[in-house]
Structure 1
Amino acid sequence: MDLFSNLENEDDNRKTKLGQTEIEYIKSVGILTEAKGFMGTYDFTLNPYSGCSFGCNYCYAAFFARSTDEKDNWGKWLKVKENALQLLIKWRKKPLLNKTIYISSVTDPYQPIEKELELTRSLLKELLNYHKPRLVIQTRSPLVTRDIDILSKFDVVQVNMTVTTDSEDVRRAFEPICPSNKARLKAIQEITESGIQTCITMTPLLPVQNPNEFVKELLSTGVKKFIVQPFHPDKGKFVASTRELAIEQMRKMNWDDSKYKEVVEIFRKELPSLGEGKQGFAPI
């Protein structure tokens, strides 16, 4: 099933612009999706947005976009489910007590526009006040620290911060619009120090310049849990015109399966807890 198939007809929806991203405000049919596939160990996934302003050139979610145009322009469009809170409120009749929910599976819940809209924040408040589920929040945005006041009140919650490399050059090549590595590490450290369970997800792991120094950076955040996945540009579900670019970037950076395994071996020796792939993403 198309992961974006719970969106209604969008012909009459409002549109605005934020930087290079066209923002469209839509009415969605649903806000909770039964978790399947890679996230199948959860009960539901929750995506306040579809599309993504960050537009990482390797993003698997682009593959599930509804049209070739949306795939080709991944990172340049974002759809805001402006009725998301109203849809979640309907679940009060059947509270989500102890249900496992992953936020978010095909977008980042802390898009740049979230700072203005506070859509994810409103959903977290609703979940806290009326449902008490078990949450995992996945993001690469330091904006998540804004919601520490809410997240700290959940009985079971984990914030996952995606950090894919130790190199700003690599980060700019693959994630040019994303926050810096330094900003992400600082944010997850702040969340950890607030007493919230945290995890750093190196998914996928992009070329690493100095694995030993990277380990020191990771450990300095206070995070105890880590997840890693390999990056295979020859097998990845890249959007149109990005596969060859990604492969060429990997060649220039001299990164292959053997280098990945070498770095992961260092991680296994130095990091307190390291999960790999689907098993690492299991609900808390």
Structure 2
Amino acid sequence: MKPQTPYKGQGAVRNEINRFDRYTYEPDEEDFLKVKTSFTEVFPKTIVNPVKSPDLSMEYSLNPYQGCEHGCSYCFARPTHEYWGFSAGTDFERKIMVKKNAPELLEKFFKKRGYVPKTIVMSGNTDPYQPIERELEITRNLLKVFLDYRHPVSFITKNALILRDLDFLVKLRELNLVSVNLSIPTINEDLRRIMEPRTSSVKNKLKAIEVLSQNDIPVNVMVAPVIPALNSDEGLNIYKTVSELGAKSAHHVLIRLNDTVEPVFVNWLNNHFPDRAQKVLNLIRSMRGGNLGEKRYFERYKGEGNVAEMIHDTYRLARKKYFADKRIDPLSTEHFTGTKEHQLRLF
């Protein structure tokens, strides 16, 4: 197969070899193009995951989907698809596993004896509002459970589909039980179509910030990832734009290409930006000690060298200029109605 062949609506240009497979099969291009996105129901026994990374502020995450249709070539979650026997390449975008029993599992989790409520982050791996959510409504049904139990929830998404659930979000906000993290790595629509093939348009993302903010739902904007010589010059403009629309905070994340994300991104970059591909890769290496990836806790967010420092300085300036007097308060856990211990405290 020709790695340089563009495939509309996806990031990966081919399937990468699964590092756990002894044998591999690569279909020819004609067969490859006939493969449609498939959705397979899986039946996990638990749905809430404790987050043990010391450099992450979240304590629990929840992912109703495995794999993601959005097609971002740099997605850090791609290698997790290999544990299911799939490829981190096009399989990650075309073979989606859905967890329809997630709401029942969440309710079971809330009823655990002695459970102490802490904010659960919807995502942490793949997007809870990817396109299939419009049909399946797993995330919407999870929201019903969060509201029923008065439990705090925070979202990470790239999709304006979250506005569909504004009715639940407004009710949760009345008790300070919800916040939204919206990923906006670029506000250049032409670049967005290439970087995030099946996410919401820039126009719709910005509209989502405005509508959520008008309804007093706190929004944090994530400029992730920042890719040198691609979107690294947008920091000030993005922060200014989203601040004016009502976002309460913003932060950025430098790109890192761990494990199988590296070949997916490199092929994508060579396909779409052959004129600057080597420049981009060399700049990333300059931030990552000569490598394209970084797994060390804390260091993976810092980067090193002049390029990384220049990017950080730009965003520090942008934050000081446009978010100096803004903040998002911690979500409340005092309204939780799940365990017997918490029910008794209400009386």
Note whether the superposition's TM-score is higher than 0.5.
yes
Distance 1:230 1:241, change over 3 A: closer
Partners of 2:105 and 2:234 in 1: CA distance: 46
1:167 aligns with 2:188: yes
Aligned length: 259
Residue in structure 2 matched with residue 138 of structure 1 by the alignment: 156
| Alpha-carbon shift at residue 22 of structure 1 (Å) | 1.4
Partners of 1:269 and 1:149 in 2: CA distance: 33
Distance 1:263 1:172, change over 3 A: farther
Query: In the alignment, is the contact (CA less than 8 A) between 2:129 and 2:161 conserved in 1?
Result: yes
| Alpha-carbon shift at residue 215 of structure 1 (Å) | 3.5
Residue in structure 2 matched with residue 57 of structure 1 by the alignment: 73
Query: In the alignment, is the contact (CA less than 8 A) between 1:188 and 1:221 conserved in 2?
Result: yes
Residue in structure 1 matched with residue 243 of structure 2 by the alignment: 219
Residue in structure 1 matched with residue 53 of structure 2 by the alignment: 37
Residue in structure 1 matched with residue 303 of structure 2 by the alignment: none
Partners of 1:42 and 1:21 in 2: CA distance: 31
Q: TM-score, with normalisation over the residues of structure 1?
A: 0.79
Instruction: Show the 5 A alignment for 1:37-186.
Output: 37=53, 41-65=57-81, 66-67=83-84, 69-73=86-90, 74-94=92-112, 98-130=117-149, 132-154=150-172, 155=175, 156-186=177-207
Partners of 2:182 and 2:253 in 1: CA distance: 14
How much is the aligned-residue C-alpha RMSD, in angstroms? 3.1
Partners of 1:56 and 1:35 in 2: CA distance: 23
| Alpha-carbon shift at residue 128 of structure 1 (Å) | 1.1
> Rg bigger for which structure?
2
| Alpha-carbon shift at residue 106 of structure 1 (Å) | 0.8
Partners of 2:203 and 2:54 in 1: CA distance: 29
Residue in structure 2 matched with residue 10 of structure 1 by the alignment: none
Structure 1 alignment gaps of length 5 or more: 1-18
Structure 2 alignment gaps of length 5 or more: 1-34, 284-306, 332-347
SS at match of 2:226: coil
Q: TM-score, with normalisation over the residues of structure 2?
A: 0.66
User: Aligned residues: percent identity?
Assistant: 30
Residue in structure 2 matched with residue 193 of structure 1 by the alignment: 214
Partners of 2:313 and 2:219 in 1: CA distance: 25
Query: In the alignment, is the contact (CA less than 8 A) between 1:50 and 1:78 conserved in 2?
Result: yes
Higher strand share: 1
Query: In the alignment, is the contact (CA less than 8 A) between 1:33 and 1:46 conserved in 2?
Result: yes
Query: In the alignment, is the contact (CA less than 8 A) between 1:72 and 1:240 conserved in 2?
Result: no
| Alpha-carbon shift at residue 239 of structure 1 (Å) | 3.1
| Alpha-carbon shift at residue 67 of structure 1 (Å) | 4.9
